[in-house]
Chains A and B, each alone.
Chain A
Amino acid sequence: MKLIYEKSQPGRRASTVARPDGLPDAHVPEELRRKNPPRLPEVPEFELMRHFTELSTRNFGVDTGFYPLGSCTMKYNPRINERLAALPGFAALHPLQEESGAQGALELMWRLQEILMEVTGLDAVSLQPAAGSQGELTGLMLIRAYFESKGESEHRRKVVVPDTAHGTNPASVTMTGYEMTHVKTDARGNIDVEDLRAKVDENTAALMLTNPSTLGLFDENIEEIERIFHGAGALMYYDGANLNAVCGISRPGDMGFDVVHINLHKTFSQPHGGGGPGGGPIAVRDILEPFLPVPAVVRKDDGSFGLDFDRPQTIGKVRAFTGPFGVFVSSYAYLRMWGDRLREMSEAAVLNANYVLARLKDAYDLEFDRLCMHEFVLSARTMKKEHGCTALDVAKRLMDYNFHPPTIYFPLIVPEALMIEPTESETKETLDAFCEAMLAIAREAAAEPELLKEAPHDRPVKRLDEVRAAKNPVVKYGFEGHPGQPHAATAAAVDEAPQGA
C-alpha cells in the first residue's frame, strides 16, 4: 500500500484556513523565516479519509476480535467512554481555566481518586502520571523523597526486582538513580524467599513487585515478603499491570504495599489506541502523601473542588497539569458502570483464564502447574524440540485463525513463552474457538510444521524481516531518495528538497 506521501500532488489540499482581510502586517525577521516548506502530504479530503480508512483495515483491535495479549489486559472498551470524553464541557476545557470554570472536571477527578483509594486499599492518589511506566518512576521518586526526609537516602540505594518483572521496572530503577538487585523465582513460581532474605537489608530502599506476577500467579508468600521488607525499613511498590485479577478480592494496600500504580488503559478500559494514551495514577499510604506531585486535586471545606499547589515536600511535577484528563473520563465512566459489582469483573477474568489454561495445558508445556489468576504462561519448548516450531511460529499461525497472538518470549524465565490473558470480556464461544485453534496448531506442528513456519498466510504482509529493519534503519519516507521508490517524489521540486534526507 502506498504511503500518503506517495499519493501527494502539488496544489491539492484538504484544509481551508481562515484568512481575515485588512489586518496589519506581521513582521518576522528574515533569518527566522522558514526557507523551504515542510513536505507534508498534499491530498484532497476524500483521499485523506480513504487512505486512513484503508490503513485501519490493515489493523486488528479488540473491536475486530479476540486479543489475548498477556499482561496488556485487552478488554472491551465501551463506546460510551468516547462519547463522554468528547463532550465539549470536557474536550474543549482549557487546563488553565480558573477553578470556578472547571468544577465538573475537578469533581470527576476527585471522585475517581476516591474510587481508586477504595480499590487499592490506600490513602491518597495522584492522577498525574501519564502511563504505568511513568507511575513506576513517580512511585520510586516518592520513595526516594521519603528516605531523604528521614535522612536515609544515602545508604538506601538498592531496589529489589524479581526476574519475572516487566522490563519497565528495571528501567525505572535506573532512571531514578537506584541500583538493581535481582531476586529469583522459586519452583512454585513465587519469589524465592530465601534468596530475598539474603538480599534485603538496611541498604534496601524498596521492592517492586507485580502480584499476581507476569506468570499469572499470586505470590503465596506475600505476607512473609511484607515482613521482610518492612522489617528492614524498606518500602513496597506494587506494579498494577495485573490489577485486573484482584479487584474487590485482595487489595495492594491489604497486601502491605505502600505505593501502587494503576494502568487505566488496562484495568479500567481506556482504549489502548495502538500504543496509547494510557493513564498511570498512583495510590500511596499516608506516609508518602506529602511527597505526591503537584497540584493535588482536593475537595475544600465549602464542598467545592480545587487544585492545591502548596505541598512543600512535593517531588514536583512528572507531567503537565493534572494528568491525561480524557482518560480519567473514560475510566471513571467505566468504574461507575461496574460500581459495587467490580469484583465480578475480576472473577470473570480469572475464570476465563483458568478455563483456557485447563483446555490447553496438555497440548503445550506448563512450567508452573497451578491455578492461574487472570493470565497464564505456556511454553512451546517441547514443540520446538520435537518439531522445530517456536512460540513465534505459533503466534504467526494464530493470525491465520483470525486471533491476535498472545505475548511471546515473556516473561524471560520461561523459554518459548506464550503468555495468554483472555480478560473478562469474552463469550465462552470465543474462548472455545481460540482453544480449538491452539489445539489445531499443536497438531499442525507435528503433521505439517511448514504451516506454522510460513504463517501468516493471508495478512496484508507475510512475515516481516525485523533484522533488516534494525540493521539499516529507514525511519521516515525519503521522497525522491526513498529505497525502491525512484519515481515517488512529486511533492516537492528537487531544488526545494530540504532538511534531512
Chain B
Amino acid sequence: MKHEIWCPLEDMKKEGLWYSVVVRDRHGKVVSRERRKSHSFLEQWNQMVFAHLRGVQASSVHDTGGTPRTLNVDDQDFQMNAAANNVTYGIVVGTGNTAVDIEDFKLETPILNGVAAGEMQHLICTVDAAVVAAPSCSFVVHRTIVNNSGGIITVLEAGIYMIGGTAGTYRFDATRDVLVAPQAVPDGGAITIDWTIGVTE
C-alpha cells in the first residue's frame, strides 16, 4: 500500500521550511510519499545567521561531532551542495526518532555512505537557484539516497548539514526532522528528499 502524508502545494508557498520525501522501489515505482512543514531550524542555523549579521564570529557553535567551535565567518558558510558519497554536509538521513530539540547538533543515528548492511549510497546534493513567485521567494535543496545494501532500510529522520567556519573547516547541523511515518526503503530502491527554504512578504 502506498503511504502518503501530503501537505497541499498551496501551503508550501507560505514562508518557512518544508520537506518532501519520496521512496521508490528498484523499478522507480513510488511506494511512499511525505510532504510537510519542517519545524526544525536548529540552534546552529541561528548562530550562523548571527555570525553573518555581525560579520565576525559566533562562539560555542556545536559541530556535528558535538564539539563547540568558534565560527569565524567564511565564504563557504551555509554551503549545502555536497558531492556524491559525501555525508559530511548536504541532506542526510538517519534511523533515530527522538523528538527534535533546538540544541540537536546532528542526526541521532545518521546512515553512513556505502553498500553494507544499514548503509546507503548518497548521490549529489544539489541546490537550485532561488525562485521568486510573489508573495514568496524560495529555493530547493535535493538529494537522492540509494539503498544497495541488500536489505530494507527504514529511514526515520532527515536533516541538512552545512559547512561553516574558517576555510570551511567545520560541519554544522542546520535542520533536523523526525519523519511522520517511517520510510522503508527496499533494497535497490531510493529515497529522494527535497527541502524548500522560503520567505514570504
> Do A and B come from the same complex?
no
Residues of A within 8 A of B (CB): none
Residues of B within 8 A of A (CB): none
